[in-house]
A and B are shown apart, each in its own frame.
Chain A
Amino acid sequence: MGRPMFPRNVVVDMRCLQDPNYATRGVGRHALALLRAAPGDVRLVGLTDPSLPPLIDEARDYVTETHPNAYAAIRALDDPDERTPFVSLSPMTHDPLFAARFLSGATRLRVAVVYDFIPLRWPERYLPDPTARLAYANALRWLARCDLFAPISVSAGDDLMSTLRAPAAAIAVTGAPLDPHFEAPVTRGGARRRHLLVVGGADPRKNPDLVVRAHAGSRALQEAGIRLVVGGQYPPAEAERLKSIASEAGGRPDLVAVPGAVSEEALVALYAQAMAIVCPSFDEGFSLPVVEGMAAGVPVFASDIPAHRELVRDPALRFPPDDADALAPLLERVARDPAWADSVVAGQAGIWPRFRAKEVGRRFWEAVEAGLAGRPYSPPTARPQSPAVARGALPRVALLSPLPPDRSGVADYTAATCVELGRMVDLHVFSETRRLEPVAGATLHPFSALPAAAAGFDRVIHVVGNSHFHHRTFDTLLRFGGAAIAHDARMLGFYRILLGLPRALAAASAELERPVPESELNEWMADEDRLKALFLDEIMDAASPMIVHSAVTAGRLQARRGRSPVLIPFSVYRPWSGTDLAPEARAAARARLGLAPGDIAIVTLGLVDASKAPDECLWALDLLRGWGVPARLSFVGQPTTPEIGEHVQRLAAKLGLSDHVTFASDYVSEAGYRDAIAGADVAIQLRTYNLGGLSGALLDCASAGTPTVANRGLADAIGVPDAYVTSIPDALSPVLLAEAIADLLEAQRGRSAAAMREAARVAFCEERSMSTYAATLCRSLGLEVETRPARVARRVA
Chain B
Amino acid sequence: MATAAAFTRRGRGRNALDWDQFRALLVASVKLDLRSTRMQRGRTGKFPPIAAAFATYVVMGTLLALAVMSTDDVFVFSLFTLSAAMFMTALLVIMEYSSVVVHPDDFDVLGYRPISSRTYFWAKIANLGLYVAATAFALSIPASIVVGIKYAPGAVLTAVYLLAALVACQATAALVVLIYSVAIRVFNYEKFTRAITYVHTLSTLVIVFGYVLLPRVLAKDVMLLSVERGAWVYAVPPAWYAGAVELATGTGGRQSLALAGLAAVSAAALIWAAMNTVSLDYSRRISALATASAKAVKEAGRRKSLGRLGLPLCRTDEERAGFELMRSYMTRDRKLRARIYPAFGLPLAVYVYGLITGGLHDPFVPQEISGGFPAHQLLGFYSVFITLFFATAIAQSDQWEASWIFYSTPVRSRAGIVTGARKLIIWRYLLPFFAFLFVLLAFAMPPAKAAMYVLLNLLLALTAFALLSLTSPHLPLSQSLEKAKQARQIGLIMLLGMSMAALTAILELMKQVPRAGFAVYPALLLLAVGAELLLRRRLERRLAREEFPG
A-B complex is real: no
Give me the interface of A with B, judged by CB distance under 8 Å: none
